[in-house]
Amino acid sequence: MKKKSNLHFNPCTKIVLLFLCIVISSLLPSIEYELIFVSIIALFSVINKKIKFACGGILIYLVVFIVSVLTVKYGSNTVRSLLMPFLGLVHKVYPVCMLSTLILSTTKVGEFLSAMSYARISKKITIPLAVMLRYIPTVREDWMYIKDSMCLRGISPSFFGFIKNPALTIECIYSPMIIMASKAADELTIASITRGIESPKKRTSIIEIRFDIQDVIALIIGVVITAFIIYRSIFYD
């Protein structure tokens, strides 16, 4: 029986790519370049076996792209003044949000901690990031419980439900969320201390962290794209 090949990227590689993505997104000269860059992120998602995520990300950006083009070509001055600041912000943050979501969905906390320990990064940096990685899914799960509870009580958690009865919606959403978020933070803190996160000794792990050829290729491509965008922004703008 043949083993399925599983292309896995080092968490350190993903973090470096995220920083490069921030630089690239802030310097991209046009939405055409942004469309190409989002397509590259979608390809990276497909390589990580997130095909639905890649298709969804491309479709959402295509909608934003078409709306931007139509607004510039056919929109009145009033429409442009209202939409263009918002669309400009979306264009700048969308690639970063897309790659961040991909990293969060493909990186386990144990892998992240092992990679940070392998790279000899200080615990002052790794511990807050690890708590963030574990905290976000917990809050998302709590939100699903609150949403189901509201539906059972006949209260819509949608935007239209908020418009119809804002006071009741806020009471049913924010109060439980604050309580559950505080409880989740306490539980994560206790669990981390129990597992010896404050121990000054070197952390051991059963997870094997390696720096393979796919990490080298991904970093080279990221550096080349960043260098090209920086070069173009300096000499052609």
Domain spans of the chain, in order of start: 7-107+207-237, 122-205
Report residue 111 as tokens: 């892998």
**Which residue type, as a one-letter code, is found at position 221?**
I
**CB contact at 8 A, 58 and 42:** yes
**CB contact at 8 A, 127 and 135:** no
**CB contact at 8 A, 95 and 34:** yes
Give pLDDT, residue 206. Answer: 66
Q: Which of 1-10, 23-32, 109-118, 196-205 has the highest mean pLDDT?
A: 23-32
Q: Could you report the per-residue pLDDT of 165-179, keeping only the tens digit for each?
A: 777 777 777 778 788
Q: Which of 56-65, 79-88, 144-153 has the highest mean pLDDT?
A: 56-65
Give the C-alpha separation, 11 to 14, whole Å: 5
**CB contact at 8 A, 33 and 226:** no
Look at 189 and 86; give whichever has higher pLDDT. 86
Give me the phi and psi of 153, to 5 degrees please: -90, 5
Give the C-alpha separation, 3 to 113, whole Å: 27
Look at 24 and 146; give whichever has higher pLDDT. 24
Report residue 13 as tokens: 């590689």
- Rg over CA atoms, the chain: 22
Q: Could you report the per-residue pLDDT of 216-231, keeping only the tens digit for each?
A: 999 999 999 999 999 9
